[in-house]
Amino acid sequence: MDSTNLMLERADRGAMPELTAFVAASQTAGQGRLGRTWVSEPGSSISLSLLLRPNDRARKGWLTLMMAASVRATVEQFAPESKPLIKWPNDVLVVERKISGILAKALGDEVVLGVGLNLKSQQGAPETAIALDELGCDASFDEVLFELLTQFRARYAKFQSDAHWAVSDLAAEFREHSATLGSNVIAMLPGGSQIQGLVSDIDADGNLLIESDVIHTISAADIIHLRN
Ligand code: BTN
């Protein structure tokens, strides 16, 4: 298929139950953030998109971090020594290289939550990418997919019964495994402006708090980590 996200966007979603999953072993036009492409050569990564209908729509901003936390736990499960970290808002890194990226799209009250997770190193991937096989993991596509779905469903079930769970437990999970907290960063904002400062925390909506002369609350940005 071209893209699991696009397939789900085009689909007759009204007829589909929540947590319907579109999965591909390759995509011809995988979408990344900010109009970038996402490379997924045959069999080398999992491309997954989930259909979500969050009960607390005001807190749907947490879904990307929820998936990032689920991917991080999955990577740790298969590569216990790898120390995977979440780079706010949508990447999972191992040794500062990207093993997974997440792309969420709100469609009215629904959210299409897409994630790519690298299983094998790919020819067309940038040097800043890494895959599970480079971490000594030879688990199959299905094994990794099953673990990722299990991790995500457990978190999503808690969120659906009480969205405040995200503000407490999910935020705590992010703080414990964050590549971004405590880092000096440049945040490239969607309008083209930039903010440089120290990341002090996330707030109750999962926004990033960056301290410079004042505290900036960032809901969307491309984050560049500077050497501390
Ligand atoms: C990024 O890091 O820029 C986000 C990458 C998201 C890639 C996934 S793969 C499954 C889903 N379908 C897509 O076309 N994109 C997302």
Is residue 116 lining ligand 1, measured as CB closer than 6 Å? yes
Instruction: Give pLDDT tens digits for 133-186.
Output: 999 998 999 999 999 999 999 999 999 999 999 999 999 999 999 999 999 999
DSSP secondary structure code for residue 169 in this structure = I
- The per-residue pLDDT for 123 is 84
- The per-residue pLDDT for 34 is 85
Is residue 114 lining ligand 1, measured as CB closer than 6 Å? yes
**39 confidence band (pLDDT: 50, 70, 90):** confident
Percent pLDDT > 90 in the chain is 91
Query: In whole angstroms, what is the distance from residue 9 CA to residue 2 CA?
Result: 12
Is residue 36 lining ligand 1, measured as CB closer than 6 Å? yes
Distance 186 CA to ligand 1 centre (A): 23
This prediction's pTM? 0.96
Q: Provide the 10 A C-beta neighbour count for residue 105.
A: 15
**26 confidence band (pLDDT: 50, 70, 90):** very high
Closest-CA residue, ligand 1 atom 10, reads 47
Mean pLDDT of the 116-124 span: 91
- The per-residue pLDDT for 228 is 63
